[in-house]
Structure 1
Amino acid sequence: MHFVLISVLCSVSVAVLLKYARKIGLDTWQMIVWNYPVAICLTYFIFTPDLANIHFSELPWVIYLPMAVLLPTLFLLLSNSLRYAGLVQTEVAQRLSLVISLLAAVWLFREQFSVMRSLGIAVGFAAIACLIGWQKEVGSVTDGWKRWLFPLTIFVGYGTVDILYKLVALEKTVAYTTSMFFMFLGAMTLSAIILVTQLVSKRKVFSSKAMGAGLLLGVLNFGNILFYMKAHRILSDSPSVVFTGMNIGVIGLGALIGVWLFRERLSLLNVVGILLAVVSVLMIAYL
């Protein structure tokens, strides 16, 4: 279970870093760009993808290309959600995005669900409705629509990414970790092109602090993936334990840090949403 704990810490640390970086005025997009060289290098040296025997014409580019767009875009949306909605709502919305991929499993992969798991998905949607509902003002933010729009985009966006990851896992022509390498490479290429354009046109100024924060972001983001995969490998006979520990761990730790460290104020409806999110995860994992 220690791998699950490390993965939880890495996941929440990503959100804390993005929120703190925004608070001190660091350029989030530069952080996102510098995160990818780290992710690519760590993927290459730790997972050692077999690039020598790759047939590029056989790679699932129809999945890689959307992922190259979605991965950096979701990082940017995550940063905005942390700013306007807060860490608590953002983390729960990200965790509950699993209900999107579960619904896709029924429609796309013809999986059969029990009645209780189906109810768990319904409870998940109820939790999202409570979380993006009315709440007290966060900081000095007065744009009420942003407090529900960004968590909603996180919910849908990460659910979409989960579906694409599942499609990648089903590919027989290329290993999953090799696909990770190419998806990170695509995300880095696209985001770097945008950043270079912004720097050349002087719409942005290079920030060494943002670069340093971005390198740390890459380590934390990759650590979340690595230790979650290790946990599944070690506890291969108990995948529901890993699934539950990861999701409830992130929800619980995110809520504690959001309220304690960032002084986020939650309405009663938001608290109900957090409790429903935990119930949803338990129902999906065990019933």
Structure 2
Amino acid sequence: MIYLLLSILSSTIIFVVFKLYQKYGVNTLQAIIVNYFIACTVGFMWFIESTDDLIRIPSETWFPGSLFLGGLFISVFYLAAITTQRSGMAVVSIASKMSVALPVFFGIFIYNESTGFLKLLGIVLALAAVYLSSIKKKEGLKIKKKNLIFPFLVFLGSGIIDTSLNFLENFYVSETDVGLFSTSIFAVAGVIGTLIIIIQAISGKLKLSWKSLAGGIALGIPNYFSIYFLVMALRSPGFENSVLFTLNHVGIVLASTLVGIVFFREVLLRKNWIGLVLAIISILLVANSQ
């Protein structure tokens, strides 16, 4: 349970950092790329004890998975940026958070986890809570048909990330390698991000700023631990994976919404309050369904 709570806390801090990006005009792409290197550095400092750990990374069975996830991390971010520009932040928020449906589906149908009434009801309420909590306008969501592909890809990519983390944790990553595995993912994303920056520099589109560096540092630390603690939570006894992913996503929605109210003076619509109530109910149902 402690790892789950720490993962939710880390993800909530990420929410706060992104809110501050908006306030201080941080270049999100640059900050995200810096963040990957900071996250990677955190992993090196905390979990890599010798050069032998680095040398054996390419020979580990989970290494291809870390390459895949590193590429997917930055790809989903890029798609999220496009979606935000074309359809708004709420659409991105809903697409990424509703992606919990994919690891839950795999947990139930691939890993043969339980499907009790309380659990299924809790999952349905959790999805409704995510949707209602994320809509910040009375008129709801407005997405042009030509732009539907982008939130769908964010949904799919985010779901694949969680599902892949679950799969690799179950079959390939040992408990002693969780830190090394997480570090490798961020290292791959950082390398890809660097290539993007180089391309921008060559094309004359690059304008680095200290805000990007500061923003990347602020994001990198909680970002690393959000993944590390999530993987550790998946390894811990107590909850099935489908339950854990549901609790994690809904917990983040609940915590980030409360932080928005308290620290950013966000005003909630009636549907947002309904979403919060459903979030609490879904947590109680899912947590007590086993």
Fold-level match, TM-score > 0.5?
yes
Q: Distance in 1 between matches of 2:72 and 2:264?
A: 28
Tell me what 1:29 maps to: 29
Distance 1:5 1:42, change over 3 A: same
Classify 1:81/1:285 alpha carbon distance in 2 versus 1 (closer, same or farther; 3 Å). Answer: farther
Aligned residues: 277
User: SS at the partner of 2:264?
Assistant: coil
Counterpart contact for 1:93–1:128, Cα < 8 Å: no
Aligned counterpart, 1:56: 59
Q: Provide Cα deviations, 1:133-185, integer angstroms capped at 9, x if missing partner.
A: 682389xxxx9439x97887665443221101011112337633332222112
- Unaligned runs of at least 5 residues, structure 2: none
Tell me the residue number matched to 2:17.
17
Q: Which residue of structure 1 aligns with residue 277 of structure 2?
A: 275
Alignment of 1:134-213 (within 5 A): 135-136=137-138, 144-145=142-143, 156-172=156-172, 175-213=177-215
Supply the AA of the counterpart residue of 1:35.
Answer: N
Name structure 1 gaps, 5 residues minimum.
none
Contact 1:44 1:181 in 2 (8 A): yes
Give the conservation status (yes or no) of the 8 Å contact 1:135–1:270.
no
Query: Does the CA contact (< 8 Å) of 2:11 and 2:226 recur in 1?
Result: yes
Residues 244, 285 of structure 1: 8 Å contact kept: no
Q: Which residue in 1 is equivalent to 2:43?
A: 43
3-state SS, counterpart of residue 252 of structure 1: helix
Q: Write the distance in 1 (CA, Å) between the matches of 2:172 and 2:247.
A: 29
User: Aligned Cα RMSD in Å?
Assistant: 3.9
Rounded Cα–Cα distance in structure 1 between residues aligned with 2:157 and 2:280: 20
Q: Where do 1:105-144 residues align within 5 Å?
A: 105-131=107-133, 135-136=137-138, 144=142
The whole-number CA distance in structure 2 between the counterparts of 1:209 and 1:230 is 32
- Percent pairwise identity: 27
Question: Are the aligned partners of 1:199 and 1:206 in contact in 2 as well (CA < 8 Å)?
Answer: no
CA deviation string 1:208-247 (max 9, x = no partner): 22112101211121243455667788xx565589878865
Aligned partners of 2:173, 2:135: CA distance in 1, in Å?
A: 44
1:72 positional shift: 2.2
Distance in 1 of aligned mates of 2:135 and 2:17: 26
Change (3 A) 1:214 1:185: same
Determine which of 71, 74, 77 is the counterpart of 2:73.
71
Normalised to the residue count of structure 2, the TM-score between the two structures is: 0.75
Distance 2:131 2:90 in 1: 16
Whichever residue aligns with residue 184 of structure 1, its letter is F
Structure 1 residues 123 and 9: CA distance shift in structure 2, 3 A: closer
1:216 match: 218
- Conserved in 1, the CA contact under 8 Å of 2:166 and 2:234? no
CA distance in 1, matches of 2:109, 2:4: 30
Tell me, what secondary structure is at the counterpart of 2:272? helix
Q: CA deviation at 1:13?
A: 1.9
